Amino acid sequence: MSKRNLAGAVLAAAISLGANGQAAAALTSNVFGFAVDPLVMSTVSGDAFDLASLDLALGPKNPPGPQSETIFGLFADSHTDSMTFDVGYGFHPRTIGWSGLQSVRFSHMPGDGYLALDNIRYATDAAGAGVVDFEDRTAGEVINTNFKSGKMNFDLYWGVVYGPANPVDFPTGVPEPATWAVLLTGFAGLGVALRRSRRLSDPQPA
């Protein structure tokens, strides 16, 4: 293989890392992403609820680097609280630990970027503990009004259910093993070619 072809292989491998230098991985379960306006979550029944934790990730159309996400809690006794997280690529659990909530509001990402949610762990006095994982929604579904998943209600302007049936790759932040293999093979081959070229260009003894 020529040095030009090897360089092309390395470049192709780098491109395969996805947007912003991140590896893209196909989703294996449904998640929900929203953009433009904030998302407000409450119980379908209107009862107070506890929010234990949830998984957050950057969805499509985000600029490079982690983004700041602030969630705001409105409690049944009318006081408020907030938490701010640095959200990056790939889903990570975030501990919330709020009790007696009336609603939770999620701020949206800059520009057209999506914030993605999954595995929202909540509890109510009437229904007990539960998890919203959006498996009761249809992958690829575009939502531009309020909708329900599990015992929770979501009020928003624009969102999409992503999942295996909706072929959108989410950046993971860590190159997949196959991507590393292509990169390492390309760099190794390029090194061999450079050494061989150097030997051929060195003056030969008379």
pLDDT tens profile 8-49: 544 444 444 444 456 778 889 999 999 988 999 999 999 999
pLDDT in tens, 171-196: 776 554 544 455 556 556 656 666 66
Please spell the DSSP secondary structure of 140-160, one letter per residue: T-EE-S-EEETTEEEE-SEEE
Contact 109, 34 (CB under 8 A): no
Residue that has been written with the tokens 């409105």 in this structure: 74
Contact 45, 103 (CB under 8 A): no
Residue that has been written with the tokens 């949610």 in this structure: 117
* Burial group, residue 136, by CB count within 10 angstroms (0-12, 13-18, 19+): exposed
Average pLDDT over residues 139-151: 94
**What residue ranges define each of the domains in the chain, with the CATH number in brackets?**
3-11+175-200 (no CATH), 29-168 (2.60.120)
- Which has the higher per-residue pLDDT, 192 or 78? 78
Other C-beta atoms closer than 10 Å to the C-beta of 169 total 15
Residue 88: pLDDT above 70?
Answer: yes
Share of the chain above pLDDT 90, in %: 56
- Residues written for the chain: 206
Sign, CA dihedral 122-123-127-130, equals positive
* Burial group, residue 129, by CB count within 10 angstroms (0-12, 13-18, 19+): exposed
Q: How confident is the model at residue 159 (pLDDT cuts 50, 70, 90)?
A: very high
Other C-beta atoms closer than 10 Å to the C-beta of 37 total 13
Q: At what angle do helices 3-15 and 177-201 cross, to 10 degrees?
A: 160
Q: What is the pLDDT of residue 184?
A: 59
- Among the residue ranges 69-73, 106-110, 118-122, 201-205, the one predicted with the least confidence is 201-205
**Which of 131, 116, 100, 96 lies closest to 39 in space, CA to CA?**
116
> Could you give phi then psi for residue 67, rounded to 5 degrees?
-120, 150
Contact 147, 154 (CB under 8 A): yes
Q: What is the pLDDT of residue 146?
A: 94
Using DSSP bridges, classify how beta strands 142-143 and 31-35 pair: parallel, antiparallel or unpaired. unpaired
Which pair of tokens denotes residue 81?
């609280």
Mean pLDDT (the chain) is 82
Share of the chain above pLDDT 70, in %: 73
pTM: 0.74
